[in-house]
Amino acid sequence: MVQVSIIIPSYNAQNTIYKVLDSIKNQKNISFEVLLVDDYPKKPLVGVQKYFFVKYIKNEKNLGLSKSINKGLKYAKGKYVMILHDDCVLVGLNWFEKTISKFEDPLAGAVIGEHVIKYNSLSALNKVFSYIYGLGIDIDDSKGKGFKEVKHLGDKCDVFRKDYLVNLGAFDESFKTAGEDTEISSRILKDGKKIFLNHDAKVIHLFSETERQSSILTHMKKAIQLNRNGIIAFLKTGSKYKLDMLFVWFLLLFSLLGFVPYFMFSLLAFPFALPLGLFSAVLALVLNYSIGVGFILIPLIYLFIKSLLKAKRAFIDKKEFNLLPLFVLIFSMLWDLLAGLAWGYGIIRFIINWIKKFFS
């Protein structure tokens, strides 16, 4: 009898998938199956059939993340279901045994593994971007033990009771590339359940080995991928991830109109991006009654400070006494600005789709 069904939604993972499957193969004291859903029609995965525990499911066209997970769920036979990314390697030989024991707690809606990276093994470029968006903490800095209650699923090493996940409605298929974890986390908490992080069940993100994160361009594309569905996540869960960057763009535009429009829009930002709105309104008052100009600098200063805090981690926490903190500062500002544009694109696309549905 299968105890755990591991669903791996895969996209162009030829460089990483075998290390992932090898880490699963070595697990002890548990019966499992792997449902590998290949969502990259251009280039099917080769050689995965040699793993006897893998059921290879090939999408004829690109379905997106949530639909691929739900497709795998339909084939799952296990009592428990794990959603695992195609570039995440299980650490240790008793990963599942350490994790599913938490489901003895009737309030456990999901149990997630700790997402880590091997910082010293990363390329210089990937070290820079490891500070800019969530890729996991350095495994050498991971000191936690046991279970900890959290409010959000991890970066795709998440375990559920299968019956609970099905009854919950599975993953929201309106999220094709990102945001589905935020949405389902919200539903789990609203259902009165809890999400637990297991510090003793780690997965290593193979950050430097995936083609999706191999250049400045691919990292910048991640800003678009993570934020173009921001409006949907906001409307469904209230998530405001990088929403402040959209308001940075608006404030840059309103700075050209003078003090009154700029100050009023700063106040309008309060419900959506309070730190930015408050910072902007106070500085606008100071500048208006001192030199009367320079409003365009305010959102740029805010952006600079946010990026500087990330660069500080590289300089102080990791003792990077080189140009790396400077590159973190520069690319963080660019990445955040692109994230704001992705928010704007998503809102425009959402409005257009709503109009089409209204008149159809």
Question: Where do the structural domains in the chain lie, given as residue ranges?
Answer: 4-214, 235-359
At 203, give phi and psi (nearest 5°): -130, 135
Digit-by-digit pLDDT tens for the chain (360 residues) are 789 999 999 988 888 899 999 999 989 888 999 999 999 888 888 888 888 899 999 999 989 999 999 999 999 999 999 999 998 999 988 998 889 999 999 999 999 999 898 888 888 898 999 899 877 888 888 888 999 999 999 767 999 999 999 999 999 998 888 888 999 999 999 999 999 999 999 999 887 656 566 789 989 999 999 999 999 999 999 999 999 999 999 999 999 999 999 999 999 999 999 999 999 999 999 988 887 678 999 999 999 999 999 999 888 877 777 899 999 999 999 999 999 999 999 999 999 999 998 888
Q: Which residue has the tokens 């400070």?
A: 305
Fold of 4-214: Spore Coat Polysaccharide Biosynthesis Protein SpsA; Chain A (3.90.550)
Q: Where is 164: in which H helix or E strand? A: helix 162-168
The answer to whether the beta carbons of residues 69 and 5 sit under 8 Å apart is: no
The answer to whether the beta carbons of residues 251 and 298 sit under 8 Å apart is: yes
pLDDT of amino acid 263: 96
- Cα separation, 274 vs 216, in Å, equals 31
- Cα separation, 244 vs 29, in Å, equals 47
CB atoms closer than 10 angstroms to residue 256: 10
pLDDT of amino acid 209: 59
User: pTM, whole model, 2 decimals?
Assistant: 0.88
The residue among 271, 249, 223, 260 whose CA lies nearest residue 344 is 249
Sequence-distant (6+) residues with CB within 8 A of 299 are 247, 248, 251, 252, 255, 276, 280
pLDDT of amino acid 122: 86
pLDDT of amino acid 334: 97
Adjacent-strand bridge partners of 88: 205
The answer to whether the beta carbons of residues 219 and 134 sit under 8 Å apart is: no
pLDDT of amino acid 227: 94
Chain-centre distance of CA 194, in angstroms? 19
Adjacent-strand bridge partners of 198: 113, 147
In b/e form, how buried is each residue of 268-280, taking b as 16+ CB within 10 angstroms? ebeeebeebbebb
